[in-house]
Chains A and B, each alone.
Chain A
Amino acid sequence: MRLLYSLSMNTIIILIATGLGVGFLSAMLGIGGGALIIPVMVLVFGYSIHTAIATSLIVIIATSNSAASVNVLKNLVNIRLGLFLEMITAAGAVCGGMISTNLPEKPLMFAFSILLIIVAILYFKGVKPKDIMNIQDKDSKGFFEEKYFDSSLNRYITYRAKNIVATTIISGFAGMISGSLGIGGGIFKVPAMNAISKIPMKISTATSNFMIGLTASAGALIYFKSGYVEPVVSGMMVIGVIVGSNISARFFSKLQDSTIKSIFLIFIIFVAIQMFIKAIG
């Protein structure tokens, strides 16, 4: 049965289901989901890379809006910290976009995949979620103080961002990578906020999720203006994503930080492998 445009009912169901899965995972990990959507759209559905990127940007915004609407109410988003880091990330992304035309893409992707593996190893061996809670309980120094109720620990936790200079520099770097390679910066920002600034994992991913919607909106408008948006594909994915990310955001506060961190590590390795294959392919 042909329902919308030239898409079959099966394709529409697959698009909504893909959106549902991507929305669920992205909202939990504080990532955009471009690394999941773009290969599916190009390899499974055969869309052009521009259409895939345009759809991915719209999906990122939908994920961010839907998850942040729940997370902000639960005080899981550090708004001032998110906006501060966003300012640096966006500036880095513009610089990355400017210099990317002069850089060879494949060696950059190769270096990036190696860097991601190093990040994954350091992050795995580094600070544990329990240690972060202990540091936050003992050390009252830091910026952007906030408080939230952790459902998995059943208590209020007050936290502050430590080593903010280092996290700011990494956010700028994440922006540059994002602008030059077209990938989201969440993969660097979440570990930086968590491991360097000692911000609980839930807050790091929820704050990153809030931020990515802002940056993706400028990119989405550019692709929108250029006519790369396929309205039916984007619309169907948006339906799935809104439902998936909303379910994830409601379920997310009950998860333990260590579980979110483990899933995040698997995702870093997945992106590193994807980048490595692109670099040698």
Chain B
Amino acid sequence: MNRHLNINISRILTYGTLLCLVLIILAVAELIITGTHITTYKELNILKLLQGLVSFNPTDTLYIALLVIIFTPITNLVYIFLYFVFSKNFTSATFPLTTLIILIVALILGFAV
């Protein structure tokens, strides 16, 4: 396996994890400074969460941190697919592509695979 691919996969995972950690710490700091409470949302709107993040809302910051950790492996999968496509290794490219399609189908059907 190409060393370059391994290094970049590791970087995506490390940066995703670190960003999530920083956001969690930021949410706790915002909470202590503003003295507000963290609430649980029953419905989620990503745009509102992003607006809350820039206006230092601790609940929104914490939700964004969790979204970052969830999207990190998906970003990795997209990167691996693109890597194989650009290196013309189409057989290997079918593995991440098929997995991505199955995950999207599972999301649409509402199954937690």
Chain A residues with CB under 8 Å of chain B are 3-5, 53, 57-58, 61-62, 64-66, 68-70, 72-73, 75, 78-80, 83-84, 86-87, 90-91, 93-94, 97-98, 146, 175, 178-179, 182, 213-225, 227, 229-232, 234-235, 238-239, 242
Contacts and interface: CB of A to CB of B under 8 A. Distances in A.
A65 B17 contact: yes
Contacts of B28: 4
A187 to B, nearest CB: 16
A55 to B, nearest CB: 10
Interface in B38-57: 38-44
Contacts of B96: 83
Contact of A242 (B6, B17, B63, B71): B17
B95 A225 contact: no
A219 B70 CA distance: 10
Nearest to A62: B69
A217 B40 contact: no
B67 to A, nearest CB: 7
A277 to B, nearest CB: 23
Contact of A146 (B1, B16, B69, B95): B1
A94 B37 contact: no
Contacts of B70: 58, 61, 217, 220-221, 224
- Which has the most chain A C-beta neighbours within 10 Å: B27, B67, B71, B95? B95
A84 B71 contact: no
A87 B13 contact: no
- From B5, B72, B80, residue with most partner A Cβ within 10 Å: B72
The binding surface of chain A is classed by DSSP as: helix
Interface in B1-31: 1, 5-7, 9-10, 13-14, 16-17, 20-21, 24, 27-28, 31
B107 to A, nearest CB: 5
A62 to B, nearest CB: 5
Given A87-B102, A91-B102, 4 more contacts: A65-B13, A98-B111, A214-B73, A221-B70
B80 A90 contact: no
B13 A222 contact: no
B106 A72 contact: no
A205 B46 CA distance: 34
Contacts of B7: 73
A90 B99 contact: yes
Nearest to A182: B112
A182 B10 CA distance: 28
Nearest to B73: A213
B59 A231 contact: yes
Interface centre among A61, A220, A239 (most CB of B within 10 A): A61
B73 A75 contact: no
Contact of B67 (A3, A80, A93, A224): A224
A182 B113 CA distance: 8
Most chain B CB neighbours (cut-off 10 Å) among A75, A215, A218:
A218
Contact of A79 (B9, B21, B67): B9
B85 interface: no
B1 A80 contact: yes
24 contacts: A3-B31, A4-B38, A57-B112, A58-B66, A90-B102, A90-B103, A94-B102, A94-B111, A97-B113, A98-B111, A178-B113, A214-B103, A218-B112, A219-B111, A219-B112, A222-B107, A222-B110, A222-B112, A224-B66, A227-B42, A227-B44, A231-B59, A238-B21, A242-B17
